[in-house]
Chain A
Amino acid sequence: MSEVVRVAPIPPGRSRSARLALLRAVFQHRLASVGLGIIAVLCFIAVFAPLLAPYSPYDQDLYKVLAPPSAAHWLGTDNLGRDLFSRLLYGARVSLFVGIVSSALSAALGVAIGLVAGFNGGVIDAIIMRVTDAFLCFPPLIFILAMSAALGPGLQNVMLSFALFGWTGFARITRGQVLQIRELPFIEAARAIGMSPYWIMRRHILPNAVAPILVAITITVGTAILIETGVSFLGLGVQPPTASWGKELRIGFTYLETAPLFSLAPGLMISLAVVAFNFVGDGLRDALDPRLRGAGLVRR
């Protein structure tokens, strides 16, 4: 047989597991590591809020209403004399929970629908796509507000309303990916080894479509946090006395001139969280491209 077998060198330092490689790539991405760091801190705060908060978020001290920042109250107090810092820490729980759960719900719904549309094509595809078009005619906040109002106030209903609107984006992304990937030669090769359409879908199409979906999920977390803020700001969503950044922002808004920190601080937290999720989304997008993986190509 041929003696001159050409051998490309095995790339050095390849990790065993693809997941490890992915994590490393995300960490190599500067913005993404910053984002991940912020998210890690926020998650830590959310989980350990009772331990970290100097006061209970519900204890009122009506003698110290709208107090300015001091050693006792780092960010001052709110209109009912509750410690603002403690309320912000507790607020992280609501915001992160809503953000992550509602984007996960939308993604689950949207990816399933998008796969069905892209893979079947034809009439099913046309119907699903017209439905998503119809959804896109609504301004998101108005739609979610209307849904939340119809379902009644409360956090679950905000998340549900968000998923009922948010799936359309995931469905479109997934469908587009499926349409593109199912024409690639390796799909034909998979058919040629006798794979069934279902398995081709699961093993070859979905994993290749996952990159933009994951990116969309992280960015949707940011959007969901913003929507929760908006809905809470407008009075639906979280009900008092539960602390949420959106709610704080709303109440603080009234006292913008006398106690600017009351609305500024939750506003900053919201921005921070949204930006962090967007950074991670960016980093993931680069990291998930297997052609860019490794070799430290993604250094931003």
Chain B
Amino acid sequence: MSGLSSNSGIESPALLGVRNLTVDFCTDAGIVTAVDHISFDLHAGEIVALVGESGCGKSTTALALLRLIANPPGRIASGEVRFRGKDLLQVSEAEIRQIRGNHIAMIFQDPMTSLNPVYTIGRQLGEPLELHKGLHGGARLEKSLALLESVNIPEPRQRRQCYPHQFSGGMQQRVMIAMGMSCDPDIIIADEPTTALDVTIQAQLLELLQAQVAHHGTALLLITHNLGVVARYADRVNVMYFGRIVESASADEIFAAPRHPYTVGLLRCVPRFDGPTGQMLRPIEGQPPDALNPLRGCPFHPRCPVAFDLCRKEEPMLTQVGDNHESACWLNARG
């Protein structure tokens, strides 16, 4: 895939290399391809954002990386997820369990339901430590307290005896982050970590994650539909549409010089301080295509303001459009 070319421009070898990942879901109405041949890389100490509207396959991608797609109905149809010289899609069930939570941690969207209501915070926080580091008793307690402290939970000694329902959403998500960081993973996948929380808490949590990346060289795959978050925290952005990556570039590039009409459309949907005053927000008209009856050509063409004949006939591939910048649009090919 063309996805290889740009990312290999960065010196260090990728920590996680995703190639041609495809995920299908078998529904009663037919097979739906939720993620369609996507490729991207994740480097140590880097925050990579996966952006797109609801249902574009962001979360499915995240789950597929750890083979957490429920099967049936889901199925990883093809692709490769390279991590430490192994293809995570091929390793045994026991091996992937060793990697989950230990080397690659995941933080979910809704902290209120991601914690088991019958156990105390402390006990749940200790689970990955027990599972992967073999910590028990005092050592585990000590580490859990340190973790709670590191995510700014005051009075950790008392708090660890609380049940999840006694915590606010923000505190619960901080516990989830602490759990994610507990085994010092190489990669954290955060699936819309702040979507369920109010805006004032969002920055706190993202800063926690950012600090982890900065201090431990963890790679963060940040899945979000919030472009504000992307602008502030991400190093690199992959824009997803209809299960495909349609544009990939550094965060600065994406905001300064978006090359795909979909990205341009997305950016027009959010208010900007640096834009001309009095500019109206413009939503992208229409809906994404029906996944059961995929269109011919570019999946964005029915909604695209600049679509032309070729767009209706053939689907464009990701191609290099600048330094470390790729876009899947025929306009770029035309120059």
Contact = CB atoms under 8 A, between A and B. Distances in A.
B118 A193 contact: no
Contacts of A192: 66, 68, 100-101, 105-106, 108
Interface stretch (A7-15, A40-48, A82-90, A109-117): A7-15
Contact of B152 (A5, A16, A191, A207): A5
B90 interface: no
A208 B119 CA distance: 10
Interface string B111-128: 001111111100000011
A123 interface: no
B142 interface: no
Nearest to A204: B116
B152 A291 contact: no
Given A5-B152, A193-B131, A184 B113 contact: yes
How many residues of A sit at the interface, in one of the four size bands? 20 to 34
B146 to A, nearest CB: 16
B238 to A, nearest CB: 21
A290 B118 contact: yes
Nearest to B118: A207
A291 B165 contact: yes
Interface residues of B, number: 48
Contact of A196 (B66, B97, B162): B97
A7 B113 contact: no
Nearest to A193: B101
A101 interface: no
Interface stretch (B199-207, B220-228, B286-294): B199-207
A194 B131 contact: yes
A126 to B, nearest CB: 15
A156 to B, nearest CB: 36
A186 B115 contact: yes
B195 interface: no
Given A193-B131, A290-B165, A4 B200 contact: yes
Contacts of A203: 127
B119 A1 contact: no
Contacts of A8: 166-168, 171
Contacts of B106: 189, 192
Given A194-B128, A195-B97, A6 B201 contact: yes
Contact of B105 (A7, A188, A193): A193
A148 B108 CA distance: 54
B109 to A, nearest CB: 8
Given A8-B167, A190-B116, A207-B119, A185 B110 contact: yes
B171 A6 contact: yes
Contacts of A10: 155, 158-159, 162, 166
A194 B104 CA distance: 10
A52 to B, nearest CB: 40
A4 B155 CA distance: 15
A63 B208 CA distance: 89
A195 B129 CA distance: 11
14 contacts: A1-B207, A6-B200, A7-B171, A14-B166, A16-B161, A185-B113, A186-B117, A189-B176, A192-B105, A192-B106, A193-B179, A194-B100, A194-B102, A195-B131
Interface of B: 66, 68, 96-102, 105-106, 108, 110, 113-120, 127-128, 131-132, 152, 154-155, 158-159, 161-163, 165-168, 170-171, 176, 179, 200-201, 203-204, 207-208, 211
